[in-house]
Amino acid sequence: MTMAPSPLPAPNRRPVFGAGFRLGRTAVALVVIAFVVVAALLAPWVAPFDPLYGDGALRRLPPGTEGHLLGLDAQGRDVLSRLLWGARPSLIAGIVPVAAALAISLVLGLLAGYTSSFLGGLIMRVIDALFAFPMILFAIATVSLLGPGLTTIIVTITISLVPYMTRIVYGAVVGEIGKGYLETARLLGASRSRILFKELLPNVVSPSIVYATTLIGPMIGFSSGLSFLGLGIQPPNADWGRMTVEGVEVFAQGAPHVVLAAGIAIIVTSLAFNWLGSGLRDILDPQQG
């Protein structure tokens, strides 16, 4: 294929707004992310109520009810607490697969780009074939093999991301080779592995990390989607996707607050990671076309 597909907004290659504006946004993003991470880590201590305990008498009460900032869900559970507890699986499902895919892709991409061209060609052909599978099919396939749950989602997303990330790494490797300094190092007598680790890897890791960061937001969204379909984390535990499903019952009776809370959490967190990604790109990869 002649195109490099990407599952998310293409990196904006023009310095559009003032650099100050973007740094400001990155700072905001970091604050939001820090907040969410802290919520995820400290949920057991910070959440006002037990997320699994539902008070039947208080079902479906809206936000603003005494003591319940965001209201209660269909089973009388405090929405805010569930939101805080839900941060953990949501974040994990977004970050872990990206990190794993990054590691795998670095290996594959470096192999494909720097070692024998036959092996490289083979790897990239396989990658091309994998592009024919929409992520959702991978999810379905993996679930039918492994059964639903957080682990399944992580495995699915990791495998789905490998083609995209490998393409990026491979492109970066080819680009660096094209600059000629690797060949010079070789001529000067450096060993292949030395060149690989000391020269090539550092220059390839940077843009790869930038790209990976831009994937986290969409993957949080995608994983919540998988949970929404029932393929992900199972009740009574919940991530934000699952909360949305459960919120639909309440929704049908005219109270959208659960759905709104979960959705806004997803949007804000994804947006923050996206901004972080652009901010990183400005810092680490400033030469834009």
Partner 1 sequence: MIAFFLRRLTAAILVLAAVTFVVFLIVYLSPGDPVKTLLGQSATAEQIADMRARLGLDLPFHEQYGAWLWRVVHGDFGRSISTQVPAMSILLPAFGNTLILALSSLFLSLLFGVAIGVTSGFRAGRLLDKVLMFITEVLAATPVFWLGLILIWIFARELGWLPSSGMRNMRARGSNLDLLAHLVLPSIAASVLAISIIARLVRGAVIDVLASDYVKIAQAAGMSSFRIFRKQVWRNILPPIVSVGGLQFGTLFGGVIFVEAVFAWPGISAQLFNAITAGDVAVIQAGVLMIATTFVAINLVVDMVLVWLNPRRAL
* Residue ranges binding partner 1 (CB under 8 A): 1-3, 5, 7-10, 12-14, 16-17, 126, 128-129, 131-137, 140-141, 143-145, 217-218, 221, 224-225, 228-229, 241, 244, 248, 251, 254, 256, 259-260, 262-263, 266-268, 270-271, 274-275
Among 266, 258, 257, 176, CA closest to 216: 266
Q: Min. distance of Cβ 157 from partner 1 in angstroms?
A: 13
Phi-psi region at 201: left, alpha or beta (left = phi > 0; alpha = psi -120 to 50): alpha
Cβ-based nearer residue to partner 1, 18 or 67: 18
Q: Min. distance of Cβ 109 from partner 1 in angstroms?
A: 20
How many other CB atoms are there within 10 angstroms of residue 168's CB atom? 21
Query: What CA–CA distance (Å, rounded) separates 118 from 123?
Result: 9
Direct distance between the N- and C-terminal alpha carbons of the chain, in angstroms, rounded to an integer:
22
Cβ-based nearer residue to partner 1, 177 or 229: 229
Cβ-based nearer residue to partner 1, 148 or 207: 148
Tokens representing residue 150 in the block: 């957080």
- Asked if residues 32 and 274 have their Cβ atoms less than 8 Å apart, the reply is no
Integer CA distances (angstroms), 245 to 3, 138, 230, 258, in order: 36, 22, 9, 9
Integer CA distances (angstroms), 183 to 112, 120, 176, 259, in order: 17, 18, 10, 56
Q: Min. distance of Cβ 4 from partner 1 in angstroms?
A: 10
Q: Min. distance of Cβ 52 from partner 1 in angstroms?
A: 23
Cβ-based nearer residue to partner 1, 138 or 170: 138
Cβ-based nearer residue to partner 1, 40 or 248: 248
Cβ-based nearer residue to partner 1, 109 or 241: 241
Query: What CA–CA distance (Å, rounded) separates 99 from 116?
Result: 26
Q: Min. distance of Cβ 36 from partner 1 in angstroms?
A: 13
Cβ-based nearer residue to partner 1, 80 or 216: 216
Integer CA distances (angstroms), 210 to 66, 194, 199, in order: 44, 24, 19
- Asked if residues 91 and 80 have their Cβ atoms less than 8 Å apart, the reply is no
